[in-house]
């Protein structure tokens, strides 16, 4: 299994849609073959269409607000006493997280296909909130599928979705979290694919959804590359890019421009949700040795039992609480280009406390997992090592959880 150079990772799959010959694909019911084929052809055309690119760039700049900031966390750096800690503050983006890139692109595609309805899944509620924003902006009717447990724990984002006029469909099956929301959303699409476009909220699902999402979030690393060059006059010799991984869309977007650099120069570190310290449950298929399986239309490492039933997961972070992961990250893991680890709920909370005490940023529980890893490794690293964390979401949505766990008003 080998990475190719100079070809975007999203395009390094075979004709059946598999990365590295075994990750990804399109395991879909027959009914979805045609809508997925149509979408694949349309996207193929659109990404080569100058007008479409212009439109995308226009909305990325004027609607999402790019570039998002690239800042040094001086206090945290000093406190840890090792590597320099920097943050790409992707939560600056309109709506407060990277999910806006994928949502905007899907809304544009939906409009282009002449469909008036758009549906999507959400865990943390950001993918749903952003899709509801984009739908409102582009005049589409929007339905969001969300696990009943997540509706409770991410209320601020649910309020935002409703305010934007989207309907939230609560999902009561299974663990009532993201995995069930994605299933229900796909089932809805099976029944309504003639009039409705589906947006998958991360770089997961059938091949084409991985590609569209990765194509959208890669804006993050295009900006970052320029910002690094500007700050350091070059790409420094020792860089570590740390990102949380749920489905893996923010991590893909954060890394895509840097995959061709040698690992010794730019290390890619993905941090999954380790779950509560004392629990056996987690949402870390890459770093805790899950087996290859098929979930939501794609082959990836999946938390499952020996029979192939998908396992329940547990994480304080709704956005990372998912048993599967992007096939692209499986590919990056098996080619050893990226390294994957996990942080527990407690690690993430401690990281949140420390970062917000020392700095003026407010990372949500998902990027707090990435900060936990940065905090862990930075003290042992040299001062010329540049650790960059993708602060990909804002903690406003975690208000209730943080208040409960830390007794803190935010």
Partner 1 sequence: MNKFISLAFKKAREDNRPAFLTYTVAGDSTKKKSLDILKSISKDVDICEIGFPHNTPIADGGQIQTSAYRAIKNGIKISDVFQLVRIFKKTKNSKPVILMGYYNMIYQYGENKFIKKCKSSGVNGLIVVDLPWPENKNFAKKCKSNSISFIQLLSPTTSKERLIKIIKDSHNMIYYISMLSTTGGKLKVSPKQILSNYKKIKKINPKKNCVIGFGITEKTISKLKNADGLVVGSAICKEITKSLKNGQNPVINVSRIVKRLKNKIL
Ligand X SMILES: Cc1ncc(COP(=O)(O)O)c(C=O)c1O
Q: Write down the least CB distance from residue 86 to partner 1, Å.
A: 39
Q: Write down the least CB distance from residue 276 to partner 1, Å.
A: 22
Among 17, 95, 214, 319, binds ligand X (CB under 6 A): 319
| Residue number with CB closer to partner 1 (207 or 391) | 207
Among 77, 183, 202, 385, binds ligand X (CB under 6 A): 202
Among 187, 226, 383, 408, binds partner 1 (CB under 8 A): 187
Of 201, 70, 101, 193, nearest in space to 146 by CA = 201
Which of these ranges, 119-127, 297-305, 332-340, 362-370, lies near partner 1 under the rule CB under 8 A?
A: 297-305
Would you give the binding string for ligand X spanning residues 32-51, x where CB under 6 A is met?
--------------------
Among 67, 120, 206, 246, binds ligand X (CB under 6 A): 246
Q: Write down the least CB distance from residue 75 to ligand X, Å.
A: 23
Counting residues that bind ligand X (by CB under 6 A) gives 21
If contact means CB under 5 to 8 A according to the sort of partner, which of partner 1, ligand X, none does residue 298 touch?
A: none
- Count how many Cα atoms sit within 13 Å of the Cα of residue 263 in the half-sphere of its side chain: 9
- Contact flag: residue 285 with ligand X (CB under 6 A): no
Would you give the binding string for partner 1 spanning residues 308-347, x where CB under 8 A is met?
xxx-------------------------------------
| Residue number with CB closer to ligand X (206 or 247) | 247
If contact means CB under 5 to 8 A according to the sort of partner, which of ligand X, partner 1, none does residue 10 touch?
A: none
**What residues make contact with partner 1 under the rule CB under 8 A?**
16, 25-35, 173-174, 179, 183, 186-187, 190-194, 291, 293-297, 302, 304, 306-310
**What residues make contact with ligand X under the rule CB under 6 A?**
97, 99, 123-124, 126-127, 202, 244-251, 319-320, 364, 366, 392-393
């Amino acid at each position: 299994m080998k990475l190719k150079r100079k070809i975007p990772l999203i395009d390094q799959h075979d004709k059946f849609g598999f990365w590295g010959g075994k990750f990804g694909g399109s395991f879909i019911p027959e009914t979805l073959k045609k809508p997925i084929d149509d979408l694949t052809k349309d996207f193929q055309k659109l990404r080569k269409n100058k007008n479409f690119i212009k439109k995308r760039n226009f909305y990325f700049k004027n609607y999402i607000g790019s570039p998002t900031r690239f800042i040094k966390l001086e206090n945290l750096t000093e406190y840890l006493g090792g590597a320099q800690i920097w943050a790409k503050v992707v939560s600056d983006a309109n709506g407060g997280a990277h999910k806006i890139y994928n949502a905007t692109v899907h809304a544009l595609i939906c409009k282009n296909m002449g469909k008036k309805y758009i549906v999507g899944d959400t865990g943390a509620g950001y993918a749903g909130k952003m899709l509801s924003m984009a739908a409102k902006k582009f005049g589409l009717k929007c339905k969001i599928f969300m696990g009943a447990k997540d509706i409770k724990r991410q209320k601020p984002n649910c309020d935002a979705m409703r305010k934007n006029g989207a309907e939230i469909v609560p999902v009561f099956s299974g663990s009532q979290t993201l995995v069930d929301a994605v299933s229900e959303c796909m089932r809805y699409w099976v029944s309504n694919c003639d009039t409705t476009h589906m947006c998958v909220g991360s770089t997961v699902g059938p091949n084409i959804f991985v590609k569209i999402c990765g194509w959208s979030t890669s804006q993050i690393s295009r900006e970052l590359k320029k910002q690094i060059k500007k700050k350091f006059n070059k790409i420094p010799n020792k860089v570590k890019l740390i990102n949380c991984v749920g489905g893996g869309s923010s991590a893909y977007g954060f890394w895509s421009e840097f995959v061709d650099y040698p690992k010794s120069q730019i290390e890619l570190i993905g941090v999954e949700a380790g779950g509560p310290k004392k629990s056996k449950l987690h949402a870390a298929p890459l770093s805790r040795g899950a087996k290859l399986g098929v979930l939501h239309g794609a082959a990836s490492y999946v938390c499952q039992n020996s029979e192939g039933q998908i396992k329940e997961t547990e994480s304080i972070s709704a956005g990372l609480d998912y048993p599967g992961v992007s096939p692209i990250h499986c590919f990056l893991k098996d080619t050893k280009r990226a390294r994957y680890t996990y942080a527990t709920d407690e690690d993430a909370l401690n990281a949140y406390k420390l970062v917000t005490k020392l700095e003026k940023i407010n990372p949500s529980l998902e990027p707090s997992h990435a900060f936990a890893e940065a905090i862990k490794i930075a003290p042992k690293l040299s001062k010329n090592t540049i650790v960059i964390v993708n602060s990909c979401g804002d903690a406003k949505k975690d208000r209730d959880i943080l208040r409960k766990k830390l007794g803190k008003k935010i």
